[in-house]
Amino acid sequence: MGYQLFFTRLADDFLENMRQKKNFALEEIRKMIVFPQDWEDRWAFYNPDRFKLEEILFIFISRIRIRIHSENLGRLGSVLADCPGLFAGRWDTETAKEAMFQADAILYLQINPETGCCS
pLDDT value for 119: 56
List, in sequence order, every residue forming a beta bridge with 118; answer none if it has no partner: 111
Q: Which of 14, 3, 90 is nearest to 52 (CA)?
A: 14
Give the whole-angstrom CA distance, residue 110 versus residue 81: 16
Among residues of the chain, what percentage have pLDDT more than 70? Answer: 85
pLDDT per position as a tens digit, 46-102: 777 778 888 888 877 777 777 777 788 778 877 776 766 677 677 778 878 888 888
Q: Look at the chain and count its residues.
A: 119
Number of CB atoms found within 10 A of residue 56's CB: 21
* Average pLDDT along the chain: 76
Give the whole-angstrom CA distance, residue 82 versus residue 89: 16
List, in sequence order, every residue forming a beta bridge with 111; answer none if it has no partner: 118
